[in-house]
Structure 1
Amino acid sequence: MDFIIFIVAMTALIYGADFIIKESERIALHYNISHFVIGATLVAVGTSLPEMAVSMSASLKGSGDIAVANVIGSTIFNISLVLGLVFLIAKNITPKRDIFAKDSAWALFPILVFILMAIDGKLNLVDGVLFLILMGAYLIFLIQSNQVEEVDEDLANEKFNWLKTILFLLIGFVLTIGGADFAVESASNIARTFGISEWVIGLFLVAFGTSLPELMISIQSAIKNNADLAIGNIIGSNVANFTMVLGLSSIVNPLNVNLSGNFFDISAAFIVSLMLVFIAANKLYNKSAGIALLVVLGLVIQNSL
């Protein structure tokens, strides 16, 4: 039964991602908003909802470690797995936006702020508010840095129906997030059947599961050669995870953070973020970069096991 649920959940993910991509592209083209900005805002916040649900639930239950580990693990998966696969799948990745010049700081700044805030061993109400202010600053930056792109004339002349677009976006997010939830649960049951430990299931499946929306949407974007939306989705999701998800979770209930005990995982998240900046700086949007990111993910998993 779990295998059937898993297949249905993955199907929901695929169709949900397709709805989100199509409607986001419709908004971007109709209102002349860059695909990167759409990916880093609307799509990124939407695909960060699973992380928010998991982390806030964990925070309410007093399980701060799960809340923080989910964000750290999702950051690692988003960059190493999702972007790694995007670089392998996409035929030609040529972002219209200068990602290194405009966005590299946002790939690193949130995790650095997290480390500074967690030096005292906890994230409290004040830290949470500061995180949310940082998220607000990021959104303002994106709006101000929006690049004007070519407008699809047919779409521009078409009567835009916000109600229809919002409806399809909601359906897309429900299918994607719901699919991720059922995929994680069914995969966990399958893993237990094969005797995989609860610790390994929690460490990898939760973080991987909450990254499934980003994975499906970015792969769909890569297939359609929409690199800006794919990369914008990942950078925006990681910013949202550290600022919005941890911010709200620490406001709900202070989170204890063991920097020394989780040194390897936090370092891995920082290293893959540095790799993203290096790739953007040298415009290495190719299969070699994808393989390198996947190799790093393999090393992280091997060390954790």
Structure 2
Amino acid sequence: MDFLIFTISMAALIYGADFIIQQSEKIALHYNISHFVIGATLVAVGTSLPEMAVSMSAAIKGNADIAVANVIGSTIFNISLVLGAVFLVAKKISPDRDLFAKDSAWSLFPILIFILMAIDGKLNAIDGILFLLLMAGYVIFLIGSNQVEQIDEELAKEKFDWKKSIVLLLIGFVFVVVGADFAIDSASNIARTFGISEWAIGLFLIAFGTSLPELTISIKSALKNNADLAIGNIIGSNVANFTMVLGVSSIVSVLNVDLSKNFFDIAAAFIVSLMLVFITANKLYNKSAGIALLVVLALVIQNSLV
């Protein structure tokens, strides 16, 4: 029964996030915001809502391992699986934006700050506020670097309906919040039944599920030759996961973090973030980079499950 509840709750998380993403993108595009900024802000925050809902619910229930592991695992999946898949399916990737000069450092800042904050073994409300301030700084940076683009022609033809968008946004939020609550309870029960640690459940099972919105949106964007939105979504989602998700969760409840015990997984998240910087620095937007990222993911999974 727990497996069924978990599957249904994850589906609710994903569909709820999809409602939020679609409506957020419509609102942003009607105000002529660049695809990268849309991907790195509204779409990124939308795809990070499952992680936020899950981690907040876990923090409230006292499951700190799930709350933190969800963020670490999502970072690993977002870069290795999602970005790797984007490189493999896209016919050509040539972002208009200089991702290395403007954005690559943002994939490293949050995880470095997380490690520094967690040296004392916990994340508290003060840490959470600092995380949220970092997110605010990221949004201000993106707004300042917005490049005006032509509005999508098909979208421009649509009659924009604020009432419909608000209703769908509310439905999305309900799905995400309710789905997260059931996902945590069922995942914890599964972990206890099979003797699996809550950290492992959060790192793989929940993190993979909550990364599905990023995977879906990014692949769709790549297939439409919209690399800016796809890569912006990945970078923005990782920033949002550390700053918003851990920020709000640690304000709700103090999160205990064991850096030494979970060294490999945290190091893996840092390494794939470094790989993203290397790829953008050398403009390695190709299938070889995609295969390399997926190989790293396979090695992480193999080592963690041994």
**Bin for the TM-score computed over the shorter chain:** 0.7 to 0.9
TM-score (norm 1): 0.84
Q: Distance in 2 between matches of 1:67 and 1:190?
A: 16
Q: Would you say the 8 A contact 1:28–1:35 is kept in 2?
A: no
* Gapped regions of structure 1 (runs ≥ 5): none
How much does 1:25 deviate? 4.7
Question: Is 1:70 aligned to 2:70, yes or no?
Answer: yes
How much does 1:186 deviate? 9.5
* Gapped regions of structure 2 (runs ≥ 5): none
Residues 69-88 of structure 1 aligned to structure 2 (within 5 Å)? 69-88=69-88
Corresponding residue number in structure 1 for 2:138: 138
* Higher mean displacement: 82-91 or 13-22: 13-22
TM-score (norm 2): 0.84
Offset from partner CA, 1:189-221 (integer Å, 9 cap, x none): 999999999875454111111111111121222
Q: Would you say the 8 A contact 2:53–2:177 is kept in 1?
A: no
Q: Would you say the 8 A contact 1:110–1:243 is kept in 2?
A: yes
SS for the counterpart of 1:211 is helix
* Higher mean displacement: 198-207 or 26-35: 198-207
How much does 1:236 deviate? 1.0
Q: Would you say the 8 A contact 2:53–2:176 is kept in 1?
A: no
Structure 1 residue identity aligned to 2:68 = V
- The RMSD of aligned alpha carbons is 3.4
* Higher mean displacement: 13-22 or 293-302: 13-22
Corresponding residue number in structure 2 for 1:147: 147
Q: Would you say the 8 A contact 1:70–1:206 is kept in 2?
A: yes
Q: Would you say the 8 A contact 2:59–2:252 is kept in 1?
A: yes
Structure 2 residue identity aligned to 1:284 = L
How much does 1:265 deviate? 0.6
For these two proteins, the number of residue pairs brought into alignment is 305
Offset from partner CA, 1:254-289 (integer Å, 9 cap, x none): 111111111111110001001111111111111111
Corresponding residue number in structure 2 for 1:247: 247
Residues 1-305 of structure 1 aligned to structure 2 (within 5 Å)? 23-152=23-152, 155-156=155-156, 159-169=159-169, 201-305=201-305
| Percent of matched pairs sharing the same residue | 82
Cα distance, 1:17–1:86 mapped onto 2, change above 3 Å: farther
Cα distance, 1:222–1:111 mapped onto 2, change above 3 Å: same
Offset from partner CA, 1:61-81 (integer Å, 9 cap, x none): 222222111111110011101
Q: Would you say the 8 A contact 2:14–2:210 is kept in 1?
A: no
Q: Distance in 1 between matches of 2:140 and 2:160?
A: 25
How much does 1:167 deviate? 3.8
Structure 2 residue identity aligned to 1:210 = T
Cα distance, 1:118–1:15 mapped onto 2, change above 3 Å: closer
